[in-house]
Structure 1
């Protein structure tokens, strides 16, 4: 299965200047739990936003830069080529950024979205989820608290 995982604001904002515009520790924990042990597919800028390789995950990076080859990563030039590196019986996670989400939406089976209940100024956005194609099957609301400055909801969508 191809699973898209993201945190997006009410206005679909994902981030600005290659960084998130909120801090949700519980969402980071959930991301780690869901993606650990699986291939993760991302664009070059998303990869470069990490301080180091994410442990226990195969990193597949999509870029148009011909000579780009970070150590211990698979580098390809399209989402289709990235998907070729996913074993048939394996779940893989699309982790961003905005352009990669748009390109991979048609290949995605499940969307694991953390909906951040606020709007933010951003330069990268998550694509619209068309209710004709996607069914919301699970929601889990989390109010803001001392560690989380905004309310958020985990949402799981499956392709209709």
Structure 2
């Protein structure tokens, strides 16, 4: 976990990276998880619920719809890209600024 504190000392931002990988190191296959483990998905939901999630465009587009109860902050270089349910950022600093203080979940591959 990486913590980032603003210079005023008031707000703390915790950046948490969520990672799942197969024993062979694979984290995804063709825009999807290479496994289906209900307990894993339930834990991911519990850990990220109510928190802003920062992800890349391809990760966001791999979802059938935005995940309920979470903000979706999407990093992309495409200045024209937009999608329903996505807050767009064009660099990491902008994404973290959008997320605000508190825990920020970084997801995707």
TM-score tier (shorter): 0.7 to 0.9
Alignment gaps of 5+ in structure 2: 1-13
**What is the Cα deviation at residue 12 of structure 1?**
2.4
39, 45, 49: which one pairs with 2:58? 45
After TM superposition, the score normalised by the length of structure 2 is 0.82
The structure having more radius of gyration, on CA atoms, is 1
The alignment status of 1:3 with 2:34, answered yes or no, reads: no
CA distance in 2, matches of 1:60, 1:84: 10
CA distance in 1, matches of 2:57, 2:81: 9
* Structure (1 or 2) with the greater strand fraction: 1
RMSD over aligned Cα, in angstroms? 1.1
After TM superposition, the score normalised by the length of structure 1 is 0.57
Alignment gaps of 5+ in structure 1: 98-160
The alignment status of 1:96 with 2:96, answered yes or no, reads: no
**What is the Cα deviation at residue 51 of structure 1?**
0.6
Which consecutive segments of 4 or more residues in structure 1 shift more than 4 A?
none
The alignment of Structure 1 onto Structure 2 pairs a total of residues equal to 96
1:37-116 aligned at under 5 Å gives the runs 37-88=50-101, 90-97=102-109
